[in-house]
Structure 1
Amino acid sequence: MVMEQLTLQLQSTAGRMLRLRCKTKNGSHIMQGLTHQSCVQELKSKVEELTGIPCDVQKIMVGYPPSSLDLKNGDAHLKDYPIKSGDTLIVEEEKNKPKPRQDHPTVTKAPRLETSPMLARRVVPADNSCLFTSVYYVVEGGVYDPACAPEMRGLIAQIVSSDPAAYSEAVLGKSNEEYCSWIKRDDTWGGAIEVSILSKFYKCEICVVDTQTVRVDRFGEDAGYHKRVLLIYDGIHYDPLQKETPGSDAPPHTIFSTTDDVILAQALELADEARRKRQFTDVNRFALRCMVCQTGLVGQKEAREHAKETGHTNFGEV
């Protein structure tokens, strides 16, 4: 035992090189540049260089059966440990030890903030029935059903035909009977008259925010309703508005209190943003074509005049 210690010390004094093999799960590597005079920290640094295992989580074993080396003192010399030239060191990463702090700054993730609900547009198809699909969506609490349009058209026709005094030609722009036949067709568009009728039927205030003028038209405002729903209108197309939480599976919110003026302000902000992005159609200037006689028209005014002169009411945007 004394001779082994003496021999080890002599090797260290002479600076004789240690030929060690570092063995890990990914293979083995020859370790060069170490002597018995090298310190523990040099050994650890060499192991990290070869294996990528940080110094502070290294578990180094030697012998058979392998026994762990106590390498806490980084300044101690390797001559003080039972390591000989030709030894194989077994290196593992101690999973239960915390990783050391790196020299480079670490990126600290900000705490996840809960996303607040926001008012947003829910796009529906531009199929001549966008108003009916949109109204149904909001009054039913976020139920999308494009097949609802024929039923809603029939409902409006029934309400109008049942009260010819209130819904006269002066109000409808055509006779009561003509209007009822017209609104039930799937190629006609709904507008203010239909919104007003649906507001009364569903007993709720229907607010239509216009993206061209950035104003809100409130149907049923003075009726004393407690519920409010919102639509956005770009001149020819209606979409429902809903409050939703981005990234959440929570269902959208489409019915609001008539005392909630904040929701109206948010709707106007949406409309103003759409206006600034030119997301509207100028109904006084957009090009139309009569789908009956193929006459080219410009804007609603010419379309109305053409309809009065010819009885044609089927128009398509060019």
Structure 2
Amino acid sequence: MLRLRCKTKNGSHVMQGLTHQSCVQELKSKVEELTGIPCEVQKIMVGYPPSSLDLRNGDAHLKDYPIKSGDTLIVEEEKNKAKLGTHPIVTKTPRLNALPTLARRVVPADNSCLFTSVNYVVEGGVYDPACAPEMRGLIAQIVSSDPAAYSEAVLGKSNEDYCAWIRRDDTWGGAIEVSILSKFYQCEICVVDTQTVRVDRFGEDAGYRKRVLLIYDGIHYDPLQREVPSAPPQTVFSTGDDVILAQALELADEARRKRQFTDVNRFALRCMVCQTGLVGQKEAREHAKETGHTNFGEV
């Protein structure tokens, strides 16, 4: 007997009465019964990151699919498959327009996009372009207060040098800073990468109940928000909301297909101290090690 959990954006349901010998059509009928989403417009995903199941053959057995007892199936409604006149609740235009969507909220590329983006999501969608100096100072204070945890081996430079470096308005934030901010705000920060279409979850094992999302293209961060017509955007989600992660990965995959990312191994840089031209992160790191110059700009 298969014991599965069926999860949608509106909640989750325990699904029983299926076995590995059950056919695909039985599964889809169970999903429709629990969620109200008609069989022909169901998109069913499983695993992490979630991947869609090809369920076009209704007579196929579930044993032929990567589904095992205890799995959570993520179910979404595929709007573009709706058939006019078949299921009014699906095909009514007002109903479709009211569905929430996950979207990128673009912030300036001013060397502080990470800090602006994190502040935006943790504050519930409040854009404050002046927040970066305060957040840089907060990180420096946290790092300087615990030199054992934030040693040169972790930071790549001495604790003192790092604190002076992160306070500058021309330095970029990255994984270290996201990890620190996750602990400070007591929330999971998920960074979705548009080049690799993966999600890095900072604070995943800390037991936090809140989750916020950023999208990253190789050099720039933007916040993600759920948009509903005639309502404020939502930027804080439950850590149990796997549907929002699936939507974020779909958004990243769409950006990848449109080549909306920067290959950090090939993009052109210039050292703003000595004006040397460089290509990619590797040359930038080597140049910084040889010269001590750490101020780079994209060409």
> Per the alignment, do residues 260 and 157 of structure 1 end up closer, same or farther by CA in structure 2, a change over 3 Å counting?
same
After TM superposition, the structure 1 stretch with the greater mean CA deviation from structure 2, 231-240 or 34-43, is: 34-43
Which one has the largest radius of gyration?
1
* Per-residue deviation, 1:115: 1.6
Secondary structure of the residue aligned to 1:156 is helix
User: Structure 1 segments of 4 or more deviating over 3 A?
Assistant: 17-99, 104-114
> Per the alignment, do residues 259 and 289 of structure 1 end up closer, same or farther by CA in structure 2, a change over 3 Å counting?
same
> Per the alignment, do residues 25 and 219 of structure 1 end up closer, same or farther by CA in structure 2, a change over 3 Å counting?
closer
Q: Residues of 1 paired with 2:16 and 2:193: CA distance?
A: 77
1:229 aligns with 2:204: no
8 Å contact from structure 2 (residues 267, 280) kept in 1:
yes
Q: Residues of 2 paired with 1:191 and 1:33: CA distance?
A: 47
> Per the alignment, do residues 116 and 293 of structure 1 end up closer, same or farther by CA in structure 2, a change over 3 Å counting?
same
For residues 162-201 of structure 1, what are the structure 2 equivalents within 5 Å? 162-201=145-184
Q: Residues of 2 paired with 1:313 and 1:60: CA distance?
A: 47
Secondary structure of the residue aligned to 1:19 is strand
* Per-residue deviation, 1:202: 0.2
Instruction: Give the total of aligned pairs.
Output: 296
Post-superposition CA distance 1:102-153 (Å, at most 9, x none): xx99999966755211100000000000000000000010010010000000
Secondary structure of the residue aligned to 2:37 is coil
Q: Residues of 2 paired with 1:166 and 1:52: CA distance?
A: 50
* Per-residue deviation, 1:97: 42
1:14 corresponds to: none
State the Cα RMSD in Å: 24.3
Q: Residues of 1 paired with 2:25 and 2:158: CA distance?
A: 98
* Per-residue deviation, 1:62: 78
> Per the alignment, do residues 285 and 115 of structure 1 end up closer, same or farther by CA in structure 2, a change over 3 Å counting?
same
| TM-score, L = length of structure 1 | 0.65
> Per the alignment, do residues 269 and 293 of structure 1 end up closer, same or farther by CA in structure 2, a change over 3 Å counting?
same
1:266 aligns with 2:247: yes
* Per-residue deviation, 1:308: 1.0
Post-superposition CA distance 1:73-93 (Å, at most 9, x none): 999999999999999999999
| TM-score, L = length of structure 2 | 0.69
* Per-residue deviation, 1:281: 0.1
The gaps in structure 1 that reach 5 residues or longer are: 1-16
Q: Residues of 2 paired with 1:195 and 1:107: CA distance?
A: 40
Q: Residues of 1 paired with 2:185 and 2:164: CA distance?
A: 22
The gaps in structure 2 that reach 5 residues or longer are: none
Q: Of the two structures, which has the highest relative contact order with CA contacts closer than 8 Å and spacing of 6 or more?
A: 2
Q: Residues of 2 paired with 1:62 and 1:182: CA distance?
A: 43
* Per-residue deviation, 1:53: 48
8 Å contact from structure 2 (residues 46, 71) kept in 1:
yes
> Per the alignment, do residues 26 and 219 of structure 1 end up closer, same or farther by CA in structure 2, a change over 3 Å counting?
closer
> Per the alignment, do residues 95 and 217 of structure 1 end up closer, same or farther by CA in structure 2, a change over 3 Å counting?
closer
* Per-residue deviation, 1:305: 0.9
> Per the alignment, do residues 257 and 305 of structure 1 end up closer, same or farther by CA in structure 2, a change over 3 Å counting?
same
> Per the alignment, do residues 273 and 107 of structure 1 end up closer, same or farther by CA in structure 2, a change over 3 Å counting?
closer
